[in-house]
């Protein structure tokens, strides 16, 4: 009987400290390019805390001449924590429709400490800033950005937690009754 009471007591402690689970999280935003030098603001809200490193995937089509990487690019900034420049020369050119109409993709790894800073406030703002030389070539010009990482979920199914808590309380009642 004593071992059963101890076991039920331990179960209660487990029930009271719900275990955090890592789940894949992915936020994608997309918008058409409507002006040269356009600024895109993508808000991810609310977001989960991260458990490690993440990634930023950018896909864009527009006036990104492969010959002009210094002036035709897409700057990115996540909450002032993770910044950089995306251009076809640094990523993967998917298709070149004409000299000035390029579809490309690029992915950046975000380290664990930076991901922690980004997800700390439970919201994030990604600013994509086209260089002023990125003009509209076609109506198909767009920018897409995906923020991906392993998030923390503290959710425990309610019926299971109630069963475990109840079993543990029976254990505590058994300890008190025994004394």
**pLDDT recorded at residue 135:** 78
**pLDDT recorded at residue 75:** 92
State which fold the 20-153 domain adopts: Jelly Rolls (2.60.120)
Instruction: Give the C-alpha separation, 63 to 97, whole Å.
Output: 10
User: What is the three-class DSSP state of 16?
Assistant: helix
Could you give phi then psi for residue 158, rounded to 5 degrees? Answer: -60, -45
pLDDT < 70 regions, the chain: 1-2, 4-20, 66-70, 137, 154-165, 168, 170, 172, 174-179
């Amino acid at each position: 009987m004593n071992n059963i009471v101890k076991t039920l007591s331990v179960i209660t402690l487990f029930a009271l400290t719900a275990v955090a689970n890592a789940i894949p999280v992915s936020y994608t935003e997309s918008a058409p390019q409507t002006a040269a030098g356009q600024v895109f603001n993508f808000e991810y809200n609310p977001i989960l805390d991260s458990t490690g490193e993440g990634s930023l995937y950018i896909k864009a089509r527009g006036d990104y001449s492969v010959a002009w990487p210094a002036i035709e690019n897409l700057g990115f900034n996540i909450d002032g924590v993770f910044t950089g420049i995306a251009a076809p020369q640094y990523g993967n050119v998917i298709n070149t429709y004409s000299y000035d109409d390029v579809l490309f993709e690029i992915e950046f790894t975000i380290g664990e400490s930076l991901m922690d800073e980004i997800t700390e406030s439970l919201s994030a703002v990604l600013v994509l800033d086209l260089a002023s030389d990125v003009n509209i070539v076609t109506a198909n010009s767009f920018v897409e950005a995906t923020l991906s990482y392993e998030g923390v979920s503290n959710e425990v199914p309610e019926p299971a937690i109630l069963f475990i808590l109840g079993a543990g309380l029976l254990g505590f009642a058994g300890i008190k009754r025994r004394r």
